[in-house]
Amino acid sequence: MTKPLLAAVLATGLLLPTASQAVETSLQIELGTQSDFERRTMVYDCATGEPVTVTYINAAPNFLALVPIAEEPEPLVFVSLIAASGVRYASGQWIWWSKGAEANLYDTTLGDDTAPVLTCSEVNNTP
């Protein structure tokens, strides 16, 4: 019996030693899954003037989120962590925590008890 595979392509820009030369490269990751693969794209209003689009990839036992961060040239890959409620994802200094139709972005370098740097609500496209 073969397990379904998930291929995620992540593009990133790499700078060469001279500023005038740049090369793009991509990375393909295959994840085995014990169940069906699900990819969901959600749009959030984070009061930034532009919608924030997050892609969730669910391929048990791997749960990922691709989240755009203003300071980064490409969306970052977040992995799920244990949470008391909702789903909490981490990537480096960042925590993306979604609970129902709400999501928050935290910068862990600001301390444990600080407010989120972004507070977002899912955009409902239903008329």
Strand, helix or coil for residue 109: helix
CATH class of 35-122: mainly beta
Q: Per-domain residue ranges for the chain? A: 35-122
Q: Could you read off the pLDDT of 4-19 as tens digits, one per residue?
A: 444 443 333 333 344 4
Distance between CA atoms of 63 and 20, rounded to whole angstroms? 38
Q: Could you read off the pLDDT of 52-94 as tens digits, one per residue?
A: 999 999 988 899 999 999 989 999 999 999 999 999 999 999 9
- pLDDT at 106 exceeding the cut of 90: yes
Q: Which residue has the tokens 């995620």?
A: 8
By percentage, how much of the chain surpasses pLDDT 70?
A: 80
Q: Are 74 and 13 a contacting pair, CB within 8 Å?
A: yes
